Amino acid sequence: MSTPNEPSFRESVDIMFNRAVALMDLPPGLEEKIRVCNATYTVRFGVRLRGQIQTFTGYRSVHSEHMEPVKGGIRFALGVNQDEVEALAALMTYKCALVEAPFGGSKGGLCIDPREYDDHELELITRRFAYELIKRDMINPAQNVPAPDMGTGEREMAWIADQYKRMNTTDINGVACVTGKPTNAGGIQGRTEATGRGVQYALREFFRDEDGVAKTGMSGTLDGKSVVVQGLGNVGYHAAKFLSEEDGCKVVGIIERDGALTDPKGLDVEAVRNWIAGHGGVSGCPEGTHIENGAAVLEMECDILIPAALEGVINQSNAARIKAPLIIEAANGPVTAGADLILKEKGCVIIPDMYANAGGVTVSYFEWVKNLSHIRFGRMQRRQEEARHQLVVDELERLSHHLGDAWSMTPDFKSKYLRGAGELELVRSGLDDTMRTAYQSMASVWHERGDVDDLRTAAYLVSIGKVADSYRAKGL
């Protein structure tokens, strides 16, 4: 746990913000306007459950409306509080600016342990929370568009979308009031995997940056790198799965609420995920060795540490013992401002949350655009693209007929080349492009400015610069 003099999550975000603005030349008024949270709405509501009324507390915070709608997930967890929601809303502002998703920053949360309720009860609670937010325009396709976060997923988003439609029956864009919906309810393919997929694309791009990799003391590609992941939920599971199945990484440690599993030869991510789904935790799992004190595994020898659970897990009390030369913040705020300095001194490179987990909001942006355009990506072009490719293949085959077998195409090439891009391919392509471009904008500041020695400060400089530009354009 964190030490007593550890700043709160929101203070941590402000400290990191201040470190960056100290290197910028912003008028003090504008600097404050960008930093402060515009509004936080607290709602307390009752739901009749198990024969009695239970009262719940929820929040929706809007950090910056320099662009609208504002965007940010809704978290269901017992630890949700105003400070946390405001910190997460601020991170959303910077994240959207960094990856050029045209949104302001927002975040919501409900103090609840979703595991204590059955599906029907959760639906009643979610719909009631959504009702409170919708009637105040805190969920609205043009003003405020939530998404999943810890403890919520596509099921909750479908309930929210349906609740909005019941209350706004003539809003033709109603389904765009929330993202992360199931594909049969207005969602987009690739959204569920998006944040984990974005972590994979971020790491791939990092390993293309030779100067960046050199700062970690590592070399080569992702192939063979050892990985420890904390939290095998939506983000952690997808990141660990893709890195091990597609990039040759070895997942040597998985940390969950009830301890950790380790195996120097690499754990089977799918098997562990299935075990957790059936047993609620990693205890008793036949994969690897079970370690009761999960937090100790954060300090294990590995190449890449992926905290993908909650904030503040790497703090002043354990930062000095972290051995990984590279940390990618898949969760929001897993490294406190104090720990950040300790790690920097040790030479550890941190790929910051506002970039690392931006895959979720990026694909949410695609989903919102899809909902507003009322058409699936690729629907108009796919077959036309295939027909044009077929023309080229037919022509090459006609020519190769005269040139002999040595010039014939392999069947694998032919089928891959002929296939027109469907929605999933387009989403992944757009996500990959976004993650590469955003990395490059950050890395150029990191490598080129003598007064910037970490990626987080570089990321803040890029994003604050963009938010400042939009305020200036508004004449503020």
Catalytic residues: 107
| Binding residues for ligand NAD restricted to 391-420, rule: CB under 6 A | none
Which of 2, 93, 189, 234 binds ligand NAD (CB under 6 A)? It is: 234
Q: Which stretch binds ligand NAD (CB under 6 A): 79-87, 240-248, 253-261, 456-464?
A: 253-261
Which of 58, 233, 312, 378 binds ligand NAD (CB under 6 A)? It is: 233
Find tokens 């919501």 and name the residue.
108
Q: Which is nearer to ligand NAD, 212 or 233 (CB)?
A: 233
Q: Which is nearer to ligand NAD, 83 or 171 (CB)?
A: 83
| Binding residues for ligand NAD restricted to 276-335, rule: CB under 6 A | 294, 308-310, 330-332
Q: Which is nearer to ligand NAD, 58 or 151 (CB)?
A: 151
Q: Cα separation of 100 and 94, whole Å?
A: 10
Which of 235, 252, 267, 459 binds ligand NAD (CB under 6 A)? It is: 235
Q: Which is nearer to ligand NAD, 26 or 111 (CB)?
A: 111
| Binding residues for ligand NAD restricted to 356-375, rule: CB under 6 A | 357, 360
Instruction: Report if residue 230 touches ligand NAD, rule: CB under 6 A.
Output: yes
Q: Which is nearer to ligand NAD, 150 or 468 (CB)?
A: 150
Find tokens 């610069």 and name the residue.
465
* Chain-centre distance for alpha carbon 74: 13
* CA distances for 25 relative to 30, 64, 255, angstroms: 10, 20, 42
Which of 12, 144, 195, 463 binds ligand NAD (CB under 6 A)? It is: 195
* Residues 146-185 as x/- pattern, contact with ligand NAD by CB under 6 A: --xxxx----------------------------------
Q: Are 153 and 191 in contact (CB under 8 A)?
A: no
Closest approach of Cβ 472 to ligand NAD, in Å?
29
Q: Cα separation of 413 and 474, whole Å?
A: 50
153-191 as b/e: b if 16+ CB within 10 A:
bbbbbbbbbbbbeeebeeeeebbbbbbbbebeebbbbbb
* Binding positions for ligand NAD, rule: CB under 6 A: 148-151, 195, 230-236, 255-257, 294, 308-310, 330-332, 357, 360
